Structure 1
Amino acid sequence: MTTPGGLSPAEKVERVARELALRVGRYDAERDHRAAFAYTYYRLTTSLTTALRTGTPPFAEPDWVADLSVSLASAYFSAMDATDTWLAAFPRSGGEVAPGDLPDAVPPPWRDVYAASSVRHSYVLEEVLFSMMAHMSYDLPLALRSLDARAGNHRHIGDFHRMNDLLATCVDEVQDDLAARYCRGLRSLDRLFTRDDELFTNYGIRMARGLAWFNSDRLREPTSADAATASISRSTAAFITRIRFPGDWKLRAVSRLLRLLIPPRRQWPAPGTPID
C-alpha cells in the first residue's frame, strides 16, 4: 500500500534506516562513541523495514507503525543534531563533560547519556544501554503522545505489541553483530553489569516499550502530565547512576574493582566496512 504522500510504510521506515546508516558511517569515521547505539538502532530499523515489506508480522495498520517509527527517529535525530551543533561551537579533544555543559536544546536524558559516555573508562555496552534507555523511556512516550493527538493510539495497541515482538526477537542477533563490530569482549562484560543489561534483551525490550506506552497515557492525562514529564526526564540519569554507582556498598566496591580490571575493549571497523 502507498500513502497519500507517495511512500509506502516500508519506504518511510527505509528512509529512517538510510539516515541512521549515514550517521553510523560518520560516527565510525570520527571515532564518536555514539556509533554503537546508532548501529544498533539501524539494525532494528532495517528489521522493521523488512517486516513491513513482507507483511510478517501482519500489522493491522502499517501506516501507523511507520509513522511511529518516523516520529521516534525524528526525536533521536533532533537530539543528535543539537549535540552536533554544540560540539561545533565548543570543539572537544577528549575529556569528560557534565550534563549541564550541554545546551537546553538537547533533552535532559540525552545530555545524561552524552556526559556518561564521555568518561575515560566507558564501555560500548554501557553506551548502548544508556542510549536505549533515553530513547525508549523518554523519546518513545513523547512520540506516542504526538501520534495520539492526530489519530488516537489505543486501537493500535495490537500493532504496538507486534512491534515489541519483532524488535525483541532481533536483539540477540543484533547484539552479536554489535560485538563483532565494536567490542569482541561484549559478552564478557555481563559480569560487570550483572543484570543491569536486561534492557538489551528480548524481555527488556518488551518491558521498556510497555512502560513507554503507560507513560504516554500519563502524559495525555492533565492531572498526571507534569509528574510523568518529570519522571521520564529523570529516568535515564537514575539508570546510569544505578549502573555506575550501585546502592549497596559491596556492589559499588566490586563494580569499581571490575572497572579497573576489565579493559573497555573498544574497536572500530576498518574504513569501508559494510554497515549491514
Structure 2
Amino acid sequence: MQQTDQVFQEMVNRAQSWEKVGDRRYIFLRCYSMMSANMPVAIQEGRFAHPSWVATLMLRFADYYFDALAQYDQNPAHAPAVWRQAHDAAKAQGTHVMQNLLLGVNAHINYDLPLALYDCLRSDWAGLDETQKRLRQNDHETVNQIIGDTIDAVQDTVVEPLSPAMALVDRLMGRMDEWLLSQLITAWRHDVWNVALQLLAASDESQRHQIKKEQESRVLERGERLCDP
C-alpha cells in the first residue's frame, strides 16, 4: 500500500496548496482524496474479490488525473479537452462549488476511468471466464458503495463551507441530496464499464480511437451543460 499512500498524500498536499491560494481546483481534488482514502481501508476489510487488481486500477486511475494536470499546468492546450474544460471553469469567476465538483467528477469518471479500466483489464480479459469477468465488474461496482459512503462527508467539509445554501438544502432534504449525487455517479460508472467493454472488444487501435473520441464528445457535452448558469 506504500505507493497508494504516496499518491494519496500527493492529492492532500496539492489540494491544501490550492486551497491556500484560492485555486478552486482543490474542490474536486479534496473530494477525490477523501474517496481515495477509503479505498485502502475497503481493501484491508476484504470487500473486493481481487484486491490487487483494485489497487492497480486505483493507481492507474490516479495516473490519468495527474498526467492531465501536468499537461494543463505546462500548456493547457496539451491537456485532454475534458480536463481543460474542468480546470478552466475552476479558474473562472462565478462558478458554483457544485459545478467545480461535478466538472471534475465528469472528466475523471466519464473520461479517465474507462481508459484506466481498459489498461488494467486488457492483458487478461480474454482469458477470464464469465464468472471471473463478473467478479471484476462486482469489484468495480463495490467502489460505488464506497463513494456513496463518502458523499455526506464531502458535502459537509467541501461543499457547504463554500455554499451555505447547500446546508439548508441538506437540512430540508436529509440525505436525499447525497443520495441523488450518489445515484448520478453510480449511473456514470455503470456507463463507463460498458465503454471499457467496447474498448476491449475493439478489433484494432483505429476502432479504439474512435470509441475514445465518441466518449470524449459525450463528456464534453455533459460538461457544457454543467457549465451553464
TM-score band w.r.t. shorter chain: 0.7 to 0.9
8 Å contact 1:137–1:208 — kept in the other structure? yes
- Map 1:1-276; keep pairs closer than 5 Å: 8=1, 11-55=2-46, 58-86=47-75, 102-104=76-78, 106-152=79-125, 154=133, 155-187=135-167, 201-222=181-202, 225-245=208-228
Q: What SS does the corresponding residue of 2:164 show, helix, strand or coil? A: coil
Q: What SS does the corresponding residue of 1:143 show, helix, strand or coil? A: helix
Q: Distance in 1 between the 2:196 and 2:148 partners?
A: 20
1:134 CA drift (Å): 0.4
RMSD: 2.5
AA partner of residue 81 (structure 2)? P
Per-residue Cα deviation, 1:90-142 (whole angstroms, up to 9, x for no partner):
xxxxxxxxxxxx222x1111011122333321111101100100000000000
Q: Distance in 2 between the 1:43 and 1:113 partners?
A: 19
8 Å contact 1:199–1:205 — kept in the other structure? no
Per-residue Cα deviation, 1:185-242 (whole angstroms, up to 9, x for no partner):
335689xxxxxx9897221121111111111111223265344212221223211322
Q: Distance in 1 between the 2:140 and 2:3 partners?
A: 17
Q: What SS does the corresponding residue of 1:185 show, helix, strand or coil? A: helix
Q: Distance in 2 between the 1:180 and 1:209 partners?
A: 25
Q: What SS does the corresponding residue of 1:201 show, helix, strand or coil? A: helix
8 Å contact 2:152–2:178 — kept in the other structure? no
Residues 237 and 54 (structure 1), Cα distance of their counterparts in 2 relative to 1, 3 Å cut: same
AA partner of residue 93 (structure 2)? R
Q: Distance in 2 between the 1:163 and 1:46 partners?
A: 12
Residues 200 and 109 (structure 1), Cα distance of their counterparts in 2 relative to 1, 3 Å cut: farther
Identity of aligned residues (%): 23
Structure 2 residue ranges without an equivalent (≥5):
171-176
Q: What SS does the corresponding residue of 1:166 show, helix, strand or coil? A: helix
TM-score by length of 2: 0.82
8 Å contact 2:160–2:167 — kept in the other structure? no
8 Å contact 1:140–1:212 — kept in the other structure? yes
Q: What SS does the corresponding residue of 1:33 show, helix, strand or coil? A: coil
Q: Distance in 2 between the 1:220 and 1:239 partners?
A: 24
Q: Distance in 1 between the 2:62 and 2:122 partners?
A: 18
AA partner of residue 53 (structure 2)? W
8 Å contact 2:27–2:97 — kept in the other structure? yes
Q: Distance in 1 between the 2:26 and 2:226 partners?
A: 21
AA partner of residue 217 (structure 1)? L
TM-score by length of 1: 0.69
Structure 1 residue ranges without an equivalent (≥5):
1-7, 87-101, 191-196, 246-254, 256-276
Structure with the higher helix share, 1 or 2: 2
Which stretch of the first structure deviates more once superposed, 152-161 or 64-73? 152-161
Per-residue Cα deviation, 1:24-57 (whole angstroms, up to 9, x for no partner):
11111222110000100010011112212333xx
1:60 CA drift (Å): 1.2
8 Å contact 1:129–1:200 — kept in the other structure? no
Q: Distance in 2 between the 1:199 and 1:110 partners?
A: 26
Q: Distance in 2 between the 1:49 and 1:181 partners?
A: 27
1:180 CA drift (Å): 4.4
**Structure with larger Rg:** 1
Residues 208 and 198 (structure 1), Cα distance of their counterparts in 2 relative to 1, 3 Å cut: farther
